[in-house]
């Protein structure tokens, strides 16, 4: 039996999941507010516990996690630890067992992902201290997109400068797109040409052909593409120059693009539930935001249908994609000429698990497939250590 601990480490939070060799989840938890007065919420066989504690750093967070397991009567002894690492750059196109060289490379890649790679490293270092001798595997959000053809990953700027600074499309959410496209293929009984829409707080579209990513909407960073909770996605790069030339600092534009854009920028709330409620109450800004959100997605669906040369399934996933019939309808309604339509009752049904939400006689099935990045990381971690 192989026990796998999956760690997803953010700057001030750390999510974890313990799975056994049969892919059964034994425990999950979230440590929050690392760096100060923090807390852990842990769910295991004994139920849920919440504990407050002073948490100066990620090592303290993992120590609290181990103590919480111990007080629930479980000795935490994973055979392998799988880490989510956001940016693998050009170097990592598959999961790797972490050694000093890999760690140094992940650290170097922080130049491309300053918000995301450093917290991943903190998690890796804390886990090495907590579980000495246990193999640790890095699973990269970018890796699944390594199969994109050059015409999809190349930005049309000066080739030498782009190569020197690593400016190209990498794509993100790869672990989710990979899991969901595999689950969709298993559900349909065949791999094919899929468009996967990962619509969560972050959002991206991916064109998958025969199990391989051939195009995706996020780029050098997770800022490009679809409208998200607090990121606006596609934007004329000239707008950034204009803002910089007319009084904004680099840090201000960074904050604008990462935190004050997307649904939050358009409506004041980055949570789609708030935007839907406001639109239902007649708020025009919220209605416009939903219009921009769906319009962008439809543009990508059309573009990817062209790149794929046809479509065997459109797949919705993540917080919004799995839970919002209204957003799914705003995306798909009116696309019958592309073979896409919804069955309203199936779309509205509050079900869990992979399901079809198009009519039986639809030309192209529309699916909802819940994502499970932790399970995919666990699978990769086990495979990487053989
Ligand atoms: P994720 O990043 O995948 O956890 O997705 C989080 C986002 O999903 C939240 O910010 C919400 O906007 C959205 N969400 C969750 N549940 C619903 C729901 N029932 N209806 C609409 N949006 C939802």
Q: Does the pLDDT at position 1 exceed 80?
A: no
Q: Is 8 annotated as contributing to ligand binding?
A: yes
d(C-alpha 18, C-alpha 378), whole Å: 9
Q: Which amino acid residue places its CA nearest to atom 19 of ligand 1?
A: 323
Measure 319 CA to ligand 1 centroid, in angstroms.
4
Q: CB-based contacts of 154: which residues, under 8 Å, 6+ apart?
A: 162, 168, 169
Q: Is 323 in the pocket of ligand 1 (CB under 6 A)?
A: yes
> Within the chain, what is the greatest distance between any pair of CA atoms?
61
Share of the chain above pLDDT 90, in %: 94
Answer whether 76's CB lies under 8 Å from 69's CB: yes
Query: Smallest Cα–Cα separation from 206: which of 223, 220, 225?
Result: 225
The tokens describing 150, both together, are 């050059």
Q: How does strand 25-32 pair with strand 14-19? A: antiparallel
Looking at residues 231-251, what average pLDDT do you find? 98
Atom of ligand 1 nearest to the CA of 202: 2
Looking at residues 317-343, what average pLDDT do you find? 97
Looking at residues 50-58, what average pLDDT do you find? 95
| Bridge partners for 166 per DSSP | none
Q: Does the pLDDT at position 192 exceed 90?
A: yes
Answer whether 270's CB lies under 8 Å from 263's CB: yes
The tokens describing 84, both together, are 């989510």
In this prediction the pTM is 0.96
Looking at residues 341-351, what average pLDDT do you find? 96
Q: Is 262 in the pocket of ligand 1 (CB under 6 A)?
A: no
In the chain, which residues fall in CATH 3.30.420.40? 4-140, 189-373
Which DSSP helix (H) or strand (E) runs through 213? strand 212-216
Share of the chain above pLDDT 70, in %: 100
Measure 320 CA to ligand 1 centroid, in angstroms.
4
- Provide DSSP, 214-227: EEES--SSTTSSS-
Q: Is 271 in the pocket of ligand 1 (CB under 6 A)?
A: yes
Q: What is the CATH superfamily name and number for domain 189-373?
A: ATPase, nucleotide binding domain (3.30.420.40)
Measure 318 CA to ligand 1 centroid, in angstroms.
7
Q: Is 318 in the pocket of ligand 1 (CB under 6 A)?
A: yes
Q: Does the pLDDT at position 314 exceed 70?
A: yes
Answer whether 138's CB lies under 8 Å from 83's CB: yes
Q: Which amino acid residue places its CA nearest to atom 18 of ligand 1?
A: 323
CATH fold for the domain made of 4-140: Nucleotidyltransferase; domain 5 (3.30.420)
pLDDT tens sequence across 122-160: 999 999 999 999 999 999 999 999 999 999 999 999 999
Looking at residues 359-382, what average pLDDT do you find? 97
- Collapse the DSSP code of 193 into the 3-class scheme (helix H, G, I; strand E, B; otherwise coil) and give the result: strand
d(C-alpha 332, C-alpha 112), whole Å: 34
pLDDT tens sequence across 27-45: 999 999 999 999 999 999 8
Q: What pLDDT does residue 46 have?
A: 83
Measure 86 CA to ligand 1 centroid, in angstroms.
21
Reply yes or no on whether 99 is catalytic: no
The tokens describing 300, both together, are 């990508």
pLDDT tens sequence across 86-116: 999 999 999 999 999 999 999 999 988 888 8
Answer whether 43's CB lies under 8 Å from 28's CB: yes
Task: Write down the catalytic residue from 141, 234, 333, 361.
Answer: 141
Distance of CA 282 to the CA centre of its chain: 31
Query: Mean pLDDT score of the chain, rounded to an integer?
Result: 96
- Collapse the DSSP code of 76 into the 3-class scheme (helix H, G, I; strand E, B; otherwise coil) and give the result: coil
Looking at residues 224-250, what average pLDDT do you find? 98
Ligand 1 pocket test, candidate residues 231, 324, 351, most atoms within 8 A of CB: 324
Q: Is 240 annotated as contributing to ligand binding?
A: no
Measure 324 CA to ligand 1 centroid, in angstroms.
8
Q: Which amino acid residue places its CA nearest to atom 8 of ligand 1?
A: 319
């Amino acid at each position: 039996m192989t026990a796998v601990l999956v760690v997803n480490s953010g700057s001030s939070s750390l999510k974890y999941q313990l799975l056994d060799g049969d892919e059964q989840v034994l425990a999950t938890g979230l440590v929050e507010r690392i760096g100060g007065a923090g807390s852990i919420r842990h769910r295991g066989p004994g139920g849920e516990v919440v504990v407050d504690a002073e948490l100066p750093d990620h090592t303290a967070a993992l120590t609290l996690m181990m103590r919480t397991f111990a007080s629930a009567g479980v000795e935490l002894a994973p055979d392998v630890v799988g880490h989510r690492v956001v940016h693998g750059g050009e170097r990592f196109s598959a999961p790797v067992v972490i050694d000093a060289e890999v760690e140094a490379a992940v650290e170097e890649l922080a130049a491309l992902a300053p918000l995301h790679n450093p917290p991943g490293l903190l998690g890796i270092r804390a886990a090495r201290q907590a579980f000495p001798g246990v193999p640790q595997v890095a699973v990269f959000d970018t890796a699944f997109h390594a199969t994109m053809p050059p015409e999809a990953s190349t930005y049309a700027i000066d080739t030498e400068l782009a190569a020197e600074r690593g400016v190209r499309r990498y794509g993100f959410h790869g672990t989710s797109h990979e899991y969901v496209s595999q689950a969709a293929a298993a559900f349909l009984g065949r791999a094919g040409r899929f468009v996967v829409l990962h619509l969560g707080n972050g959002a991206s579209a991916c064109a998958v052909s025969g199990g391989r990513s051939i195009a995706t909407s996020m780029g050098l960073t997770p800022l490009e593409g679809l409208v998200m909770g607090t990121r606006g996605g596609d934007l004329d790069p000239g707008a950034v120059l204009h803002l910089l030339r007319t009084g904004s600092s680099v840090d201000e534009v960074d904050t604008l693009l990462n935190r004050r854009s997307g649904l939050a920028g358009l409506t004041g709330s980055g949570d789609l539930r708030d935007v839907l409620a406001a639109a239902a109450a007649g708020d025009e800004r919220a209605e416009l935001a939903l219009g921009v959100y769906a319009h962008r997605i439809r543009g990508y669906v059309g573009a990817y249908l062209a790149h794929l040369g046809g479509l065997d399934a459109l797949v919705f996933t993540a917080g919004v994609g799995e839970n919002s019939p209204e957003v799914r309808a705003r995306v798909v309604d009116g696309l019958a000429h592309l073979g896409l339509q919804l069955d309203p009752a199936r779309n509205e049904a509050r079900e869990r698990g992979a399901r079809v939400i198009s009519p039986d006689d639809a030309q192209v099935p529309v699916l909802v497939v819940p994502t499970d990045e932790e399970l995919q990381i666990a699978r990769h971690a086990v495979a990487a250590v053989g």
